[in-house]
Amino acid sequence: MTTLFIADLHLEDKRPQLTRILCDFLGDQARRADALYILGDLFEFWIGDDVLSETARKVASAIRQLSDAGVPCYFIHGNRDFLLGEDYAAKAGLQLLPEVCIADLYGTPTLLLHGDTLCTDDVDYQAFRTQVRNPQFQAMFLNMTPEQRLEMAANARDASKQQSSGKSMDIMDVNATAVRALFEQHAVDQMIHGHTHRPAVHQHVLAGGTKAQRVVLADWRGSGSYLQVTAQGMETIPLPA
Ligand code: LP5
Ligand code: MN
């Protein structure tokens, strides 16, 4: 009885070794899981289901084999792949989840999300997010040619890199008040997310003194890993290169 979590893989054609590590994991450890949750930024960027990279095709086929073998595979969008749609999900056998959801992990209701919405001090990012999550903006973007979309995504990446280098680490981390508010809104005391690339287990004290645990997933920049949750507890397991 085990549920697995991964996030922030940032897969792209330029880094085929990461895709291979994922495919090995999907065909091995993940086969024995009750479910696999991918909490966003599976891909470095996503410009539409009609423009599939070689990496995206390989990943779809590997996830499909896992879901066909009976392991449900869930996906929550990240800030890089929020345009991943139902067409790709169907191809990959992925079930798309809303941006915040609750999973019952062996008796512990647990909030799952990418994590970017908790970074409320990063007002420039939140403004950008509001713009690009607007359905009208997305329809306009998806109507552009693949070349135009690629160029726009590359410009957004350049602007993001430039602006992020001038932001403090604190601004780019989650806001503790936003975290507590989300816990209290959903009346749960466990949360798992990614996005900040700062893996850790944090303790929060909620109104009334209740203690809550927030687990931040590791990214795959250096090497691959996954979080394994069982009835006994959780553990981050590194994957061989
Ligand atoms: O991803 P990461 O960790 O490097 O940085 C994020 C935030 N940046 C982003 C932007 C993405 O990297 C851009 C790539 C998206 C690909 C999708 C393509 C499809 C849509 C393209 C539409 C243009 O998410 C970064 C945070 C950081 O996390 C930490 O939380 O700080 O936020 C920013 O840097 C945002 C900037 O402050 C403002 C962004 C300016 C971009 C301007 C682009 C112009 C196009 C405008 C269209 C509406
Ligand atoms: Mn992210």
Smallest CA separation from ligand 1 atom 12, residue: 157
* C-alpha–C-alpha distance, residues 38 and 99, integer Å: 12
Could you list the pLDDT tens digit for every one of the 241 residues in the chain? 999 999 999 999 999 999 999 999 999 999 999 999 999 999 999 999 999 999 999 999 999 999 999 999 999 999 999 999 999 999 999 999 999 999 999 999 999 999 999 999 999 999 999 999 999 999 999 999 999 999 999 999 999 999 999 999 999 999 999 999 999 999 999 999 999 999 999 999 999 999 999 999 999 998 999 999 999 999 999 999 8
State if residue 160 touches ligand 1 by the CB under 6 angstroms criterion: yes
Residue 74's beta-bridge partner residues?
A: 37, 95
Whether the Cβ atoms of residue 32 and residue 102 lie closer than 8 Å to each other: no
Cα of 160 vs centre of ligand 2, distance in Å, is 12
Cα of 81 vs centre of ligand 2, distance in Å, is 9
Beta-carbon count within 10 A of 119 CB: 20
Residue 11's beta-bridge partner residues?
A: 43
Closest listed residue to residue 82, CA positions, set 122, 33, 43: 43
Cα of 84 vs centre of ligand 1, distance in Å, is 16
**Residue to substitute in 8, 79, 147, 150 for testing ligand 1 pocket (most ligand atoms within 8 angstroms of CB):** 79
Q: Is the pTM of the predicted complex or chain greater than 0.95?
A: yes
Q: What is the pLDDT of residues 131-190, one digit of tens each?
A: 999 999 999 999 999 999 999 999 999 999 999 999 999 999 999 999 999 999 999 999
pLDDT at 222: 87
* C-alpha–C-alpha distance, residues 47 and 58, integer Å: 17
State if residue 131 touches ligand 1 by the CB under 6 angstroms criterion: yes
